[in-house]
Amino acid sequence: MEFTINLLDLSEQPTLTLRETHPVEDLPAFFGKAYGAVMAYLQEAGEQPAGMPFGVYYNMDMSALDIEAGFPVGKSLPGNDIVKGSSIPAGHYISTVFKGAYREMKPAYDALELWAEENGWEPTGTAYEYYLNDPNEDEVVVAETEIRFQVRKK
């Protein structure tokens, strides 16, 4: 599988998120809960998302994933008891787009790690997934996910 890897230099991005720890099999329910809570907050605040929904993975322990999910927003918002005002830090990121089932993304992750190693970068340990479409809306839609690793120069 071939992947195009891009090096990005990004500004800080305000977000609204929910962060919890779950086993991998609970992710669909967690994402539904997180996105629903953020959208309800945005509706109450009279705001709109400023981009596609995303998930942030702080570890890769499939039995206890430390995950944050939500939406980018156009300005910092305080959040509430459930939804947290947060941000994606400014910095360098490497990125690729994977087309296919979520459970089959490992080659894209491997390609990002290899590219970083070969080009003098090291991942910080945080992985971002931006969900570019929703395959649940139509069975013929193939999931497209942009995967980003925050990186620093070795």
Q: Distance of CA 139 to CAs 39, 106, 134, Å?
A: 24, 22, 10
For 85-141, how does the pLDDT look when each residue is reduced to its tens digit (9 = 90+)? 999 999 999 999 999 988 899 999 999 999 999 999 999 999 999 999 987 777 788
SS3 for 37? helix
Beta strands 144-153; 121-131: pairing state? antiparallel
The larger pLDDT score, comparing residue 25 to residue 139, is at: 25
The helix or strand, by DSSP H or E, that contains position 29, with its residue range, turns out to be: helix 27-45
Please state the domain extents for the chain.
6-153
CATH architecture, domain 6-153 = Alpha-Beta Barrel (3.20)
* Dihedral pair phi/psi, residue 139, rounded to 5°: -65, -20
Residue where the block lists tokens 């491997």: 110
Looking at residue 134, its pLDDT comes to: 83
For the residues of 34-75, what is the DSSP string, one character each?
HHHHHHHHHHHHT--BSS--EEEES---TTSEEEEEEEEBSS
Residue where the block lists tokens 């944050």: 68
| CB-neighbour burial class of residue 81 (10 A; exposed 0-12, middle 13-18, buried 19+) | exposed
Residue where the block lists tokens 């809570």: 37
For 41-76, how does the pLDDT look when each residue is reduced to its tens digit (9 = 90+)? 999 999 999 999 999 999 989 999 999 999 999 999
Stretch 25-47: mean pLDDT, rounded? 96
